[in-house]
Amino acid sequence: MKAPCQPSDAAMHDPRYLLAQAIAVHAGAMALEMFRRRAQLVIESKGPQDMVSAADRNVEQYVKERVRAMFPGDGFFGEEGGADVGDAEYIWVVDPIDGTACFVNGMYAWCISIAVLYRGQVVVGVVYDPNANELFHARLGGGAFCGPEPMRVHPGPTLKDGVLGVGTSFRVGVDDFIPFLDAVLRDGGMFIRNGSGALMIAYVAAGRLIGYFEPHMNAWDALAGYLLVSEAGGRVSDFLAGNGLLHGNVVVVGNQAVWGQIATHAGLALETT
């Protein structure tokens, strides 16, 4: 097995870190232009609460072409195009528009999410919100930022001290989600769901949300935000356990104090990364 890189080695990832930021901003501009004329887009349904538009496909194709032009040997795993990774050491994991249902219905809760893995470890995470022009970004060992400003997770010691983000989908049953909400409310907590898990995880890194829980997310939605939260001083569950890259996993992220509270309310015994 290839050894994971260490934070002290992480500056080697800077070229991809800089490229991911540049790609996210340009891809976001493309998506925003299509958002403004969304009535002209062709919309398809991939299943309950799961839409795809021409914007998703066009943006992902742009990202893939930019990556391959600069790093032709890198693997690529996109929501729309699937996995093309081979035995590449670097793998780009991309959601061209996280929050497509919001996008096609004229709501602003959507973003571009780009993660880069090196030998199975997330080393770059970028989430870009074109509507707010906010670029959340992190490189392993280099800290987490919103634009030029450093980010830190919310300092609150309990769920009562902040707002929790939550998400769900028809990939899981109601019984995997409603009991969690019941436990949070009985504990005096508050929660929101805005339609973009990647954006809400970025908000955890920025200290706007105290944590985030979803019974199942796909890798392209979660991995960029995971590095943001970790580099902002937070705690995250081991998303890549059990082949989470290909099959997805449960998501529990938060500050060091509330992470265990979220996991307990979810009825989970989870390992952290």
- pLDDT tens-digit map of 125-139: 999 999 999 999 999
Please report the DSSP string for 117-143 in residue order: EETTEEEEEEEEETTTTEEEEEETTS-
| Mean per-residue pLDDT over the chain, rounded | 90
Residue 255 in domain: yes
Least confident of 44-48, 134-138, 228-232: 44-48
Task: Work out the average pLDDT over 12-29.
Answer: 97
Same domain, 129 and 195: no
pLDDT at 49 exceeding the cut of 50? no
Phi and psi dihedrals of 144, rounded to 5?
-120, 145
pLDDT at 6: 56
pLDDT at 30: 93
φ/ψ bin of 141: left (φ > 0), alpha (ψ from -120 to 50), beta (otherwise): left
Residue 272 in domain: no
Taking alpha carbons only, the member of 110, 113, 135 closest to residue 34 is: 110
Same domain, 136 and 170: no
The 10 Å CB-count burial string (b at 16+, else e) for 241-261 is eeebbeebbbbbbbbebbbeb
Same domain, 48 and 166: no
Is the pTM higher than 0.85? The answer reads yes
Residue 29 in domain: yes
Please report the DSSP string for 189-213 in residue order: -EEE--S-HHHHHHHHHTTSSSEEE
Least confident of 31-45, 51-65, 161-175, 176-190: 31-45
pLDDT at 257 exceeding the cut of 70? yes
Domain boundary among 96, 126, 150: 150
**2 confidence band (pLDDT: 50, 70, 90):** very low
Q: Which helix (H) or strand (E) holds 215?
A: strand 211-217
Q: Per the structure, how many domains does the chain have?
A: 2
Q: At 78, which CATH number?
A: 3.30.540.10
Measure the CA–CA gap between 103 and 130, rounded to whole angstroms.
11
The β-bridge partners of 129 are 134
pLDDT at 272: 60
pLDDT at 42: 60
